Amino acid sequence: MKIQETPDGKQPDLFELLRSKSEMSTLPVEQETGEIEQPAIEFEQPTNKITDEKQTGLPNEARRALVALLRYGVIMAANKRLLFDALCRYETQIQEHLENMYLRMLVDEQAGLVLLLQQDGTDTDEEEETSSLISRRTMTLYDTLLVLVLRKHYQDRETAGEQRVIIDIDRIEIALRPFLPLINSSRSDRRQLSSALKNMKERRILAAVRSEEERFEITPVIRYVVNAEFLEKMLQEYQKLVEQATTDD
């Protein structure tokens, strides 16, 4: 290989010669137009995954209302107006979520009530433990009699046109008195009654009346615990049992 000399007569350094050839090979090739072709760069459009997920889910107010319904089982407009309105507004979407948990909600806008219920067809004994988030509690005979008494009073006052149905503990005692032979008692036990009334408040069947410890409001929940037809049937059955118990004594 013949190496050309520089103008000053010196031979070029071998490393400089190789470097100059390498730089020439990396220069861009001119096109016919004289312009340098730039490589095309494609940028991937970012996707907002968090926003997309939120758009397909429930709004915040609907999620808060759903959590409250799952926690309490009953939401009433009288004391939880914002939650009640959200449950009504997003009823369709919330129902879809509840279906995945074998639940449904009953909305009674006129009564201002939303009630969490077991989904129809999933309350069989075989599936109850695995498919039910609503635990069943068997009421005592005393509690059952109390519910019937409260339901009867509610029905009578509602028929009379009252918007809020209030009852005091003395009236409850009087209404229970005819059924006392069924629980082997001749007089009312105020401590037992107070305990049963507390239980009814926990089940949202009763609500406290402000500043009046011995008066209670019967909530519309009682309608869905005992309907009118079942009420009359049960009262007749218990009255027969009372007559039989009295005769035996």
Query: If DSSP codes are grouped into helix, strand and coil, which group holds residue 227?
Result: coil
Domain finish residue from 131, 155, 175: 131
pLDDT tens digits, 53-93: 445 488 999 999 999 999 999 999 988 999 999 999 999 99
CATH code where residue 88 lies: 3.90.1150
**Residue 143 pLDDT level (bands cut at 50, 70, 90):** very high
Residue 1 domain-assigned (yes or no): no
Q: Is residue 196 part of a domain?
A: yes
Q: How much is the average pLDDT of 166-171?
A: 95
| Same domain (yes/no): 153, 235 | yes
What does the alpha-carbon distance between residue 120 and residue 32 come to, in Å, rounded to a whole number? 78
Please tell me whether residues 165 and 225 are part of one structural domain.
yes
Residue that is last in its domain, among 88, 113, 131:
131
- Does residue 44 surpass a pLDDT of 50? yes
Element (H, E) at 141: helix 141-159
The pLDDT confidence band at residue 7, using thresholds 50, 70 and 90, is low
Q: Do 127 and 82 share a domain, yes or no?
A: yes
| pTM (two decimals) | 0.69
Residue 11 forms part of a structural domain: no
Q: Is the domain of 213 the same as that of 145?
A: yes
| Domains identified in the chain, total number | 2
Residue tagged 């090739």 (tokens)? 29
Q: What is the CATH number of the domain that holds 194?
A: 1.10.10
pLDDT(188) > 90:
no
The answer to the question of residue 87 being in a domain is yes
What is the residue type of 239? Answer: Q
d(CA 198, CA 192): 10
Look at residue 49 in the predicted model and tell me its pLDDT.
45
Together in a domain, 157 and 192: yes
Which of residues 181 and 125 earns the better pLDDT score? 181
Evaluated on CA atoms 140, 144, 150, 151, the torsion sign reads positive
**Is 67 domain-assigned?**
yes
Same domain, 125 and 156: no
**155 plus 185 within the same structural domain:** yes
**pLDDT per position as a tens digit, 113-133:** 999 998 876 544 555 544 444
**Residue 227 structural domain:** 141-248
103-108 and 165-168 beta bridge pairing = unpaired
Co-location of 82 and 179 in the same domain: no
Query: Looking at residue 211, what is its pLDDT?
Result: 85
CA distance 179 to 182: 6
Classify residue 119: in a domain, yes or no: yes
pLDDT attached to residue 13: 58
Measure the CA–CA gap between 208 and 78, rounded to whole angstroms.
12
Mean pLDDT lowest among 9-23, 94-108, 194-208, 225-239: 9-23
Q: Tell me the residue type at 133.
A: L
pLDDT at 50 over 50: no
74/148 same-domain check = no
Domain boundary residue, one of 113, 131, 149: 131
Rounded to an integer, the average pLDDT of 216-223 is 94
